[in-house]
Amino acid sequence: MGQVRVTMQAFTQLDGLVAAIDRANVDTDAIIPKQFLKLIQRSGFGPNLFDEWRYLDHGEPGMDNSQRPLNPQFVLNAPRYRGAQILLTRENFGCGSSREHAPWALEDYGFRALIGTSYADIFFNNCFKNGLLPIPLPQAEIDALFAQVFATEGYRLKIDLDSQTVTRPDGEVLRFDIEPFRKHCLLNGLDDIGLTLRHADKIRAFEDGRRAEQPWLFS
């Protein structure tokens, strides 16, 4: 894989502060509201992450977000979570719209990993394209993590992708699953277009066969 360019931020190890959002079915409309989808760039969405929950006023593209009134009730605004790199969540995180602006916003805000019971398919997939690691863990382990985060200010976790482990401050080691191909790409920050184009000959041969058999698909 020597010629494949490294374009994505690689993920190997992380020792990070944990923030917790204790609700299920957090949808991508909540993660990044639609008005920010009008923008044509892929960076700078962090200040508008969870915009409707995070601020008391209505956000629009182009506003100076540093001047906007924060919602003190929203967990990520709590001083104890400032600088968090790991987001603890509940089931079906990232459901709804396929907008990749959701992982862009999470990543731009500073998150590098998510830990939760489950993720929506498209969102889960989008995370891996942006160097963001979504870790699924069983319900009981998630419940325990929530209890520990709420009880301990400055709660941190250590994540090691190579060994597929999350280590708690009390030394307990939690193992997680990840597909080998995704792991390989994330560990090395590989550009998957480059990886796919190594198979260009196969794609071309497949396409030629398909065109011969079902020409109407190519007209």
Partner 1 sequence: MPQTLYAKLWNSHVVHQEEDGTALVYIDRHLVHEVTSPQAFEGLKLAGRKPWRIGSVVATADHNTPTDHWDQGITDPVSRLQVETLDANIAAFGAKVYFPFRDARQGIVHVIGPEQGATLPGMTVVCGDSHTSTHGAFACLAQGIGTSEVEHVLATQCLLQKKSKTMLIRVDGALQTGVSAKDVVLAIIGRIGTAGGTGYAIEFAGSTISGLSMEGRMTLCNMAIEAGARAGMVAVDATTVEYVRGRPFAPIGADWDKAVACWRTLVSDPGARFDQVIEIDAGKLKPQVTWGTSPEMVTTVDGEVPDPTLESNPVKREGMERALAYMDLAPGTSIKAIRLDRVFIGSCTNSRIEDLRAAAQVVAGRKVAPTIRQALVVPGSGLVKAEAEREGLDRTFIDAGFEWREPGCSMCLAMNDDRLEPGERCASTSNRNFEGRQGAGGRTHLVSPQMAAAAAITGYFSDVRDWLR
Task: Give the footprint of partner 1 on this chain (CB under 8 A).
Answer: 7, 22-25, 27, 29-30, 33-35, 37-42, 52, 58, 61-62, 90-92, 95-100, 103, 118, 120-122, 125-126, 129-130, 179-182, 192-193, 196-197, 199-200, 202-203, 206-207, 210, 214-219
* Least distance in angstroms from the C-beta of 114 to partner 1: 15
* Least distance in angstroms from the C-beta of 167 to partner 1: 25
* Least distance in angstroms from the C-beta of 207 to partner 1: 7
* Least distance in angstroms from the C-beta of 204 to partner 1: 9
* Least distance in angstroms from the C-beta of 154 to partner 1: 25
- Rank residues 7 and 12 by Cβ distance to partner 1 and give the closer one: 7
- Rank residues 81 and 93 by Cβ distance to partner 1 and give the closer one: 93
- Rank residues 15 and 60 by Cβ distance to partner 1 and give the closer one: 60
- Rank residues 24 and 158 by Cβ distance to partner 1 and give the closer one: 24
Q: Whole-angstrom Cα distance, residue 82 to residue 212?
A: 59
- Rank residues 29 and 160 by Cβ distance to partner 1 and give the closer one: 29
Q: Whole-angstrom Cα distance, residue 45 to residue 36?
A: 8
- Rank residues 173 and 193 by Cβ distance to partner 1 and give the closer one: 193
Q: What HEC string does the chain produce?
A: CCCCCECCCCCCEEEEEEEECCCCCCEHHHHCCHHHHHCCCCCCCHHHCCHHHHECCCCCCCCCHHHCCECCCCHHHCHHHCCCCEEECCCCECECCCCCHHHHHHHHHCCCEEEECCECHHHHHHHHCCCCEEEECCHHHHHHHHHHHHHCCCCEEEEECCCCEEECCCCCEEECCCCHHHHHHHHHCECHHHHHHCCHHHHHHHHHHHHHHCHHHCC
* Least distance in angstroms from the C-beta of 98 to partner 1: 4
Distances 202 to 152, 196, 197, 207, 208 between C-alpha atoms, Å: 54, 10, 9, 8, 10
